[in-house]
Structure 1
Amino acid sequence: MGDISALRLIGDNTTPIWGMSNAERVRRLAVKRAIAERIAPGEALYVNLAFAFDPTLIDEAIKRPGVALTIGGELVLGVLPDGTDPLRLDGIERLPLENRSFYNEQLRKLETPFAERLTPERSRAIERQSYFGAYKGVTDLLTKYLWPELALWLTRIAARLGMTPNMVTAIGAALCVYATVLFAQGQYWTGMLAGFIFMVLDTVDGKLARCTITSSKWGNVADHGVDLIHPPFWWYFWGVGLSAWGLALSSQAFLLVMVAVIAGYILQRVIEGLFIKDFGMDIHVWQTFDSRFRLITARRNPNMAILFVATLAGRPDIGLIALAWWTVISLVVHAVRLAQAYRMRRSGRPIVSWMEEAAP
C-alpha cells in the first residue's frame, strides 16, 4: 500500500463492493490518485465510508480544496483543513453532487459521477454504476451497445474469482493469436468466435482494473500494445485465408487492398497522435461529429462487423475489399478534420472539446 497519510476515513461500512470493503477500495483509490502528492500540507482528504462514489470525484475534490462534496447536505468527500469536524462542517463551503456533471477527459465523456449510500440492498446496483462509469463515452458501436452487459457479467465473475486484469489480458491475447491462425486457414466463423471473445475480454480487463482499482503501468502497456498491433495482422491473414474458399484475390488486388488497409490504419493512428500532441485532446472528442463518427470509423470492431456481414453472405473477399475502402474513407475524414483544426487555430479560435463546453 502506498502513502495514505493524507487520507481520513469517516465511520465504517461492512458492505463489500467488487469483492472488497469500502475502506480498502478508498485506500486503493487514494494511492492510485496519488493524493499525498496532490494535497497541500495541512489538508487531508476526508471520505465518508457510508457512501460509495465514482473515482473521478477524488480529482474533483482535489481541484476544490476547502469544499465539501455533499449529498443531502452530508459530506461524501472533500479536501479539507486537517482537523475539520466532518460531521459539522462549520464554515466549510458545500458543493451538492445531486445531478452535477463533470467532463472526464480520460474516458472522453461528460458524466454525472455516481455517489450513493452503500448498503447491502444497493451494492449490486452500485457495482453496476461503477462499471458503466468506467465506460468510455466515445467509442465504437459494438463496445458501446452490443456487449456491455456480457462484459459486466464477466467482470463480476473475474472480481469474485480474484483474477487480475493482466490475467484477463493474457487470455485475450492468446485468443487474439488463435483467431489470427484461424483466419489464415480460412476458418472464418471459428476465428470470428475467438475474436469476439477476445474483443469482449478487451473490455473486461480495463473495466476490472478500474472497478477493483488494480490497474498498473505495465498492464496498461500490454493491453494497449495488443490492441495497437494486432488489427493489420488480422486483415492480412484474412486475405491469405481466402484461398481456402476459392476466393483468393489476384496478386495485384491483394497488394492494393493491403496497402489501403495497413497504410490507412497507420496513418489514422498518426493523425490521432498529432491531434493529441497539438491540441491536447483526442480527435474524437473535438466536435459532436467526431464523437459520432468514432462509432463507425475504421477500427477493429466496426471492421469485424463488415467482415461478419460479408461472410454471412458467403463473400469474405468482398468484405475485405469493403474494409479497405472504408479504411481509406475514414482516413480522408480524419485528415480533413485535422486540417480544419489547424485552420481554426490559425484563425485565432480555440480548439475545445464540445463536452467541456457542455459542462456546467
Structure 2
Amino acid sequence: MKQIAIPEPAAAPEKLPTFVSVGSNPALVFGLDAATRAGRLAAKAKLDCAAAPPAGQALVLADLDFAWDPAWLASIVKRPGAVLIKGDRAVLGHVPAGMDPAPLLAAMANGSAWTGDGLERLDAATAELTNHELRKRERPFVLRLNAANPEPVERAAYDASYKGVTDALTLYLWRGLAFHLTRWAARIGMSPNQVTLIGAILCVATFFLFLQGNYWLGMVAGFGFMVLDTVDGKLARCTGQSSWWGNIFDHGIDLVHPPFWWWAWAAGLAYWDDPFEPVYQVLIVLAIVGGYVVQRVIEGIFMRKYGMHIHVWRPVDSRFRLVTARRNPNMIILLVSLVFRRPDMGLELVALWTMISLIFHAVRLAQANARFERGRKLVSWLA
C-alpha cells in the first residue's frame, strides 16, 4: 500500500474548534477512562471541551471507540473539513463552522462506517506526520480501545511519547522498565511532578554519595534518577498532564545537575587509593564541564539559526546522539571503570569522550554554516 506523507499546513485556524467526544468507553488507559483522557489531550491542545456540539461552532468530534496519538489531534485541528479514518470508521473529524455535524456524529455514535461526502479523508493506515517536538517522522497510532485489554493502547501511547532521537540507554536499556513504572504511577494517581520530585531527591543523593567516594551506592541512586527522568515525561504525555512548571522543573534539573555529579566524582577520589593531583583534577573537571557547556551552546546556536536540533540534521547526527557525551553515556563509562576499580581512569575517559563529542559537534556546526553560506537550505532528514 502506498504511503502518504501529509504536508503540514502553514497555520492553525484563527479560532480553535470545540472538542466533543462521542459515545462512551469504560476502558482505563493509564488509570483514566476514555472520555477523561481524551478531554485532557484536547485541553493540552488548547481546545475547549463540551459534552454536546454547540450550535454554529467549528467542532472536532472524537469517537471513544478508538484511541489515537495526540499528533493526530494536532493535525486534525489544523485541517478544517478533514476526517481521520481507521478502516471504514471515522475516528476524528474537524467539522467547520456552518457545516452540519449530524452525519459524522451519527456515524460515530452508531459505530457505523463513514460514507459521507464533504470531508477530506485521511487514512490512518497510510498517512505520516512529522513530530517536531519529539524529533521523529512517524505514522501515529490509531487503535480500537478494548475495555477488556487496554494494554496495547497503553504501550502504543507510551512508545509514541518517546523521542525518536535520544541516547541509547533511554531508547533501549530501560524502555520496558520505564513503561511499567509509568503505568503503575498513573494507576495510583501520581502526578509527573511528584515523580520528578522523587527523581530530584535521588539526584541530590547521587551528588553527596559521589562526593564521599561511595560510588557504587551513588550509581544505584543515579540510575534510579535516570529512569525516573524518563518516567515523568512519559507520564505527562500519556495522561495529558504536561505543564509549563513541570517542563521547567524537569528540564532545569536535567540541564544543571551533570557538572555537579562530575565534580563530586573527582572530589570523591580522595577516599580511594589514587586521587588526582589538585591541578590535574581541576583540568579534568574543567574539560568535562566546559565541554558540556560549549556543546549546549553549539546546540542552541544551531537551533536558533536553522530551526531544528543539531541531532536531526542528518542520520549521522542522530546516530551520534545515541552515545554523545551526555549524562547517560558518561555514567556507563564510569560504571565500567568501577568494575575495574579505576574510578580515576573513568573520569579521564569521560573527559576524553567529552572533547571528542565537542569536536564532532563543532565540525557539524561549521559544515552547516558552510552549506548555508553557499545558499543551500538545511533540512532535517526526518522531514
State TM-score, norm by structure 1.
Answer: 0.94
Is contact 1:186-1:244 (8 Å) kept? yes
Aligned to 1:76: 91
Task: Tell me, in whole angstroms, the C-alpha distance in 1 between the residues paired with 2:293 and 2:141.
Answer: 37
Q: Size of the alignment, in residue pairs?
A: 351
Is contact 2:41-2:239 (8 Å) kept? no
Matched residue of 2:134: which SS?
Answer: coil
Aligned to 2:254: 227
Task: Report whether the alignment pairs 1:11 with 2:23.
Answer: yes
Q: CA deviation at 1:122?
A: 3.7
Task: Tell me, in whole angstroms, the C-alpha distance in 2 between the residues paired with 1:309 and 1:276.
Answer: 34
Task: Tell me, in whole angstroms, the C-alpha distance in 2 between the residues paired with 1:200 and 1:24.
Answer: 27
Task: Tell me, in whole angstroms, the C-alpha distance in 1 between the residues paired with 2:371 and 2:159.
Answer: 34
Task: Tell me, in whole angstroms, the C-alpha distance in 2 between the residues paired with 1:5 and 1:341.
Answer: 40
Work out which of the residue numbers 151, 154, 160 in structure 2 matches 1:124.
151
Partner AA of 2:64 in structure 1: L
Task: Report whether the alignment pairs 1:27 with 2:39.
Answer: yes
Aligned to 1:51: 66
Aligned to 1:155: 182
Task: Tell me, in whole angstroms, the C-alpha distance in 2 between the residues paired with 1:4 and 1:283.
Answer: 32
Partner AA of 2:169 in structure 1: L
Task: Report whether the alignment pairs 1:265 with 2:280.
Answer: no
Matched residue of 1:354: which SS?
Answer: coil
Within a 5 Å distance, the mapping from 1:133-148 to structure 2 comes to 133-148=160-175
Aligned to 1:295: 322
Cα deviation 1:174-205 (Å, max 9, x = unaligned): 00000110001111000000000000000000
Task: Tell me, in whole angstroms, the C-alpha distance in 2 between the residues paired with 1:244 and 1:185.
Answer: 7
Cα deviation 1:51-90 (Å, max 9, x = unaligned): 0001111111123221111011211102122532212533
Q: Could you tell which deviates more after superposition, 207-216 or 12-21?
A: 12-21
Aligned to 2:82: 67
Aligned to 1:317: 344
Aligned structure 1 segments of 4 or more residues deviating by more than 3 angstroms: none
**C-alpha RMSD over aligned residues:** 1.6
Aligned to 1:94: 121
Is contact 2:86-2:123 (8 Å) kept? yes
Aligned to 1:168: 195
Cα deviation 1:284-327 (Å, max 9, x = unaligned): 01100000000000000000000001111110000000000110
State TM-score, norm by structure 2.
Answer: 0.89
Is contact 1:155-1:204 (8 Å) kept? yes
Is contact 1:4-1:30 (8 Å) kept? no
Partner AA of 1:304 in structure 2: M
Aligned to 2:110: none
5+ unaligned residues in a row in structure 1: which ranges? none
Is contact 1:45-1:80 (8 Å) kept? yes
Is contact 2:25-2:147 (8 Å) kept? no
Aligned to 2:308: 281
Q: Could you tell which deviates more after superposition, 237-246 or 4-13?
A: 4-13
Higher helix share: 1
Task: Tell me, in whole angstroms, the C-alpha distance in 1 between the residues paired with 2:68 and 2:148.
Answer: 16
Is contact 1:9-1:23 (8 Å) kept? yes
Matched residue of 2:242: which SS?
Answer: coil
5+ unaligned residues in a row in structure 2: which ranges? 1-14, 50-55, 108-113
Is contact 1:4-1:31 (8 Å) kept? no
Q: Could you tell which deviates more after superposition, 300-309 or 78-87?
A: 78-87
Matched residue of 1:307: which SS?
Answer: helix
Task: Tell me, in whole angstroms, the C-alpha distance in 1 between the residues paired with 2:165 and 2:124.
Answer: 24
Is contact 2:17-2:60 (8 Å) kept? no
Task: Tell me, in whole angstroms, the C-alpha distance in 2 between the residues paired with 1:285 and 1:302.
Answer: 19
Aligned to 2:52: none
